[in-house]
A and B are shown apart, each in its own frame.
Chain A
Amino acid sequence: MRNAFAAEITALADQDDRVVLLMGDIGNRLFDKYRAAHPDRFFNAGVAEANMTSMAAGMASCGLRPVTYTITPFVTTRCLEQIRVDICYHHLPVTVVGVGAGLSYASLGATHHACEDIAFLRALPGMIVVCPADAVETRLALRAILAQNQPAYLRLGKKGEPVIHKSEPKFVLGKALVVRPGKDVCLLSAGTVMPLVLETAEHLAPHGITAEVVSFHTVKPLDEDYLRSAFGRFRTIATIEEHSLIGGFGSAVAEWLVDQTPFAAGRLLRFGTADHFIHEAGEQEHARRHYGLTAEAMGQKILLTSK
């Protein structure tokens, strides 16, 4: 996904001379093409994310469209104060891009895990939160974000994510994308867990359960129309994210659900990471297994609930 991001931001910078890319000393060779084409609109801000964010806000106040980029925890929670005050309080069109959502950098340890970013960023007034499922959504999301004028957070995976959309979908911020229609249960996926969610759907099929699989790329604002429809049509609706169960996508849906009157019919199940750090070594798959983010574990839970 990061390659898709790099290609798309370069193309967008070609077309729109307001685009500025600031990165936190990350991405070996990733932005070579961008730098060659637009050296005056590229900044290696160094390992100084607070300043990178403040500078981006200052640039946006002068009519530019800055994008900040580094590893997810460092571009978000590390400089949350600057995102909150310089970007959101001023309501400036800065796009914060985090690479390595969730457990993408599992092997680097919990300092590089990002399981709280959605919780913190969606609490900021005026901040759009987008979790694309694949490289196609990444490109479309970036275009859509830069076509509007408010703060946004784009939560990318890393590399090697399978392409979900074989053809370009009609991408609209705040509108969920049905990837596979179904009748019995509804699986809402936010971000790079999508392949896992599709696998879960396959796990349920032999049991006579067809799952509708949705890329709920925009966590804020939620697609409330889709949620209303889903909670009317399905007996079980599950949210899946590579993020803490505290405060993420599932929590956002739970908050929405609690506010509905009459109370919605469907039952909400939430899957995400638990309230503890991983201390042992391991790659992303191992880390996901540790938190129960596997097709088998999730499929089992859904089967039990659907009985």
Chain B
Amino acid sequence: MKADFAKTRLIAAQTRAKLVQLSHQSGAPHLGSSLSCVDILVAAYWHCLRIDPKHADDPERDRFILSKGHAAPALYTVLAKRGFFPELLLDTFGKDGGVLPEQPSPGSVPGVEAATGSLGHGLGMGLGMALAGRIHKLGYRVIALLSDGELNEGSVWEAAMFAAGRKVETLTAIVDFNKWQATDRSRDVMALEPLADKWRAFGWRTFEVDGHDLPALVELLNRPYEGIGQPTAIIAHTVKGKGISFMEDDNNWHYRIPTADEVQAAARELLGSV
């Protein structure tokens, strides 16, 4: 995969503009959470995952699980732009009877690997998929994207301990560490930090990265893991609401729905600046 970051940076900007529009259109919240993980998703879907949108069910495919399911619009937009289904379908997001509910539903559209939305499930399910790969002697990779608030859930740490204990190298956990959860800064809710230390202590090869630096994300995601005897954790330092000046690090945008004016202002900032 030849890295064309100019192209994918534009895709990331377009994705962000689309997310603001979708939130306004559908009245669906969690915009800040969706914006913080766009670069991670773009890095994975254009520069790392061995996937073919025309063969979404290929048993040998890499699997990406959006464990922080409330960022579903970000996943849907990326899947559409990557060719898993027509972009037109995105405008049915959140609509009655549509196939794009606010949190992903199993088998709803090609490319959605797990029905998340309840936090703390994606890593364990992904671990199961990775172990299935081992049983089937297939070398596919499983990447789970978690939020920092999600790390409050004990089930995450059960999965972390087991994955390390079983040396599941094909499993990667990315934490979208945007420093906020629904109602508080994540460091104020629980003793979450030092976060990288925690993953290391649980036996994971752990990296920290600027979660908005596309080349750096890609380099880490593409680091070889065969033979390291550990799963990999990437702590991506991100900004909630990233990309739009009046949303960045403002936790009101966990729930707030943008107005039509705000949709336009966001589009100008995002697509004007590229």
Binding site for B on A (CB under 8 A): 20, 40-41, 43, 45-46, 48, 50-51, 53-64, 66, 81-82, 85-86, 89-91
Contact = CB atoms under 8 A, between A and B. Distances in A.
Q: Which of B106, B126, B132 has the most CB of A within 10 A?
A: B132
Contacts of B115: 85, 89-90
B125 A86 contact: yes
Q: Which of B130, B135, B161 has the most CB of A within 10 A?
A: B135
B221 interface: no
Contact of B129 (A50, A51, A58, A85): A58
Contacts of A45: 162
Interface stretch (B91-99, B152-160, B240-248): B152-160
A45 B161 CA distance: 10
A58 B106 contact: no
B146 interface: no
Nearest to B165: A46
A63 B60 CA distance: 12
A260 B125 CA distance: 41
A152 to B, nearest CB: 18
B129 A59 contact: yes
A225 to B, nearest CB: 32
B158 A61 contact: no
Nearest to B127: A55
A212 B133 CA distance: 50
Interface in B109-161: 113-115, 118, 120-121, 123-136, 154-155, 158-159, 161
Given A46-B162, A61-B114, A85-B118, A55 B135 contact: no
Nearest first, the 4 closest Cβ-Cβ pairs linking A and B are A58-B128, A54-B124, A62-B132, A51-B158
Given A54-B159, A59-B131, A62-B136, 5 more contacts: A50-B158, A53-B124, A55-B128, A55-B159, A82-B124
A59 B168 CA distance: 14
Q: Which of B114, B127, B134, B161 has the most CB of A within 10 A?
A: B114
30 contacts: A46-B158, A46-B161, A50-B120, A50-B155, A50-B158, A51-B155, A54-B121, A54-B124, A54-B128, A54-B159, A55-B125, A55-B162, A57-B125, A58-B128, A59-B129, A59-B131, A59-B132, A60-B128, A61-B113, A62-B59, A62-B129, A62-B133, A63-B59, A64-B132, A82-B121, A82-B155, A86-B124, A89-B106, A89-B115, A90-B106
Contacts of B129: 58-59, 61-62
Interface of B is mostly: helix
A65 to B, nearest CB: 11
B144 to A, nearest CB: 10
Given A63-B59, A85-B115, A58 B158 contact: no
A210 B84 CA distance: 65
Q: Which of A57, A59, A81, A91 has the most CB of B within 10 A?
A: A59
Interface of B: 59, 106, 113-115, 118, 120-121, 123-136, 154-155, 158-159, 161-162
A90 B104 CA distance: 11
A48 B161 contact: yes
A40 B135 contact: yes
Interface of A is mostly: helix
A62 B114 CA distance: 12
A62 B138 CA distance: 11
A58 B125 contact: yes
Contacts of A66: 128
B162 A58 contact: no
A34 to B, nearest CB: 15
A86 B121 contact: yes
A50 B124 contact: yes
A17 B253 CA distance: 49
Contacts of B118: 81, 85
A89 B154 CA distance: 21
B154 A90 contact: no
Contacts of B125: 54-55, 57-58, 61, 86
Nearest to B153: A50
A51 B165 CA distance: 13
B32 to A, nearest CB: 24
A67 B161 CA distance: 21
B133 A51 contact: no
Contacts of B113: 61
Nearest to A49: B158
A304 to B, nearest CB: 48
B132 A58 contact: yes
Nearest to B160: A51
B162 A48 contact: yes
B128 A57 contact: yes
B159 A51 contact: yes
Nearest to B138: A62
Contacts of A55: 124-125, 127-128, 131, 159, 162
B159 A43 contact: no
Contacts of A41: 135
Given A58-B126, A58-B127, A86-B125, A63 B132 contact: yes
A85 B121 contact: yes
Nearest to B123: A54
B122 to A, nearest CB: 8
Contacts of B135: 20, 40-41, 59, 64
Contacts of B123: 54
